[in-house]
Structure 1
């Protein structure tokens, strides 16, 4: 048995539009070790959500392979994929729109159990009560409607719903970005606790590196559909090896207002995925870019133990 629950190889997702082809996910490869939380970070438009949903085949990939526990999900029929989805779930970004306002909380959480014919009505109700308590809510809440809860409580309901089928893998898609900072911390601690108690494996999608630094074991940095850097969270936080990662890191607020940090500023906007730049797609916003950056796609370079960077000038810029 491999140590990786997921192994993603050369994954690509393109969307054909009247204006051309959108390169949403462009030849991405990485692994998700069992029991780990891998953070996927980048600006809006970098392809994070598309990648997360493609891993679950909620969006069909254009090409590439997604190996889940040794099985290539891209080869499965819709029937086989339905069974596999019991082992993988998603927590959505918006705890309001992801919950049907016409259903009581108990029915929302029990949807998956009912769809798969698991348990009697009473057994499902008992299961829902246990799930609510596991995520820090009162079991009596199952008879209320979503509008009666705060944003943080609704996100806990969404987490309970994702746990109902006892999954091994969860995609958490910007699952704390809509919450206040204090509530964010509570939900992050809940996710850490659930990981330990259930031995869950997670892909945590975020745009905030400070959140990822707190929660995750490894970090994958994406920009315009491509991987920029991949490595242990400590390396990504303290010794990033790509100019884009350094720019994201330097934007993290510091708790001491008197502290001074070297900044790597991003200029301009992220280019259109309809017409990504040649070579390194980040070069049009990179202060270190030269002519070499426009010539051919960057290959992964080792920046340390289990740490990769996709920057042609990495050794020159950071004197490695």
Structure 2
């Protein structure tokens, strides 16, 4: 598998002005996605992960930063130039109920992308739609039906087929199973993994469930209140999380072995408002290891070995490290 970087996000920042101030949704986020891999972008609701994902596709225009896709900075492209890249960059939305146009049949939903981005018409288009539906586990007869005639899991399969229709190089999967029943989630995750391996897709998989990310992703980026707290290879982060926030998230993730257990780390309070984030380390108000310096210093994302990076002034503290080892 080729391991060159397909997407490099550098210093990504997005702020939303409001009547009462500015919401700092994404604040200096950086990460790479290697070709043919899946990177998990995880964090609680309000961490900015969905905004970051949509900024990478320029569905939302960032305020600052670079989005280098296959050697080209997407932020330097005009709207017309960006259209040429749309077929290479696709998204699977979180809500399978609101992301499909209820007035269109399935063949129209999937065929729309083919008509816009590919010169496919007539029988060739019908064959392509039938092929896509079969590939995502649906009967080709589904092409003549409307979204309301399907279950949530089936609708998400239609959304996946739509994203695959134009043979993209990169897909953002924005919490694609969070709106589904638990019994259906595993089926859709297995489908995504199978498609990624079959087509060599490169993906940014957004989730709040770290057990899902462990199952799918090669690397993990942990976000909190718009900033990256930790990032690195999945096996390293799951074996030894070094940021207190990552430790807390992992402690809440279910274990596959019903006899196994881990020490639960309960975060105190709620995530602060992105309009008024804490000074210094944004996680300090909920961190059990916080010291006075945490309110003064914005911790940089430091390299601690391999491709593992942590933003914590106490990341080398034996007390913090030992907690990672006991999870």
Q: TM-score range by the shorter chain?
A: over 0.9
Q: Match for residue 77 of structure 1? A: 78
Query: Matched residue of 2:68: which SS?
Result: strand
Q: Match for residue 48 of structure 2? A: 47
Give the Cα–Cα distance (whole angstroms) in 2 for the partners of residues 43 and 298 of structure 1: 20
Q: Structure 1: 5+ residue runs without aligned partners?
A: none
- Aligned residues of 1:241 and 1:303 also touching (Cα < 8 A): no
Q: Match for residue 62 of structure 2? A: 61
- Aligned residues of 1:243 and 1:264 also touching (Cα < 8 A): no
Deviates more, 1:301-310 or 1:47-56: 301-310
Give the Cα–Cα distance (whole angstroms) in 1 for the partners of residues 185 and 306 of structure 2: 31
| 1:105-254 equivalence runs, <5 A | 105-116=106-117, 118-254=119-255
Q: Structure 2: 5+ residue runs without aligned partners?
A: 323-327
TM-score, normalised to structure 1, is: 0.97
Deviations 1:224-281 (A, max 9, x none): 0000000111112121010000000001123556544212210000000001111100
Deviates more, 1:203-212 or 1:111-120: 111-120
Q: Match for residue 263 of structure 1? A: 264
Q: Match for residue 288 of structure 2? A: 287
Q: CA deviation at 1:115?
A: 2.1
Give the Cα–Cα distance (whole angstroms) in 2 for the partners of residues 185 and 164 of structure 1: 23
Q: CA deviation at 1:305?
A: 1.4
Give the Cα–Cα distance (whole angstroms) in 2 for the partners of residues 189 and 253 of structure 1: 18
Q: Match for residue 318 of structure 1? A: 320
Deviates more, 1:20-29 or 1:109-118: 109-118
Give the Cα–Cα distance (whole angstroms) in 2 for the partners of residues 15 and 292 of structure 1: 29
Aligned residue pair count: 320
CA RMSD of aligned residues (A): 1.5
TM-score, normalised to structure 2, is: 0.95
| 1:7-26 equivalence runs, <5 A | 7-26=8-27
Give the Cα–Cα distance (whole angstroms) in 1 for the partners of residues 260 and 65 of structure 2: 45
- State the 4+ residue runs in structure 1 displaced beyond 6 angstroms: none
Deviates more, 1:213-222 or 1:253-262: 253-262
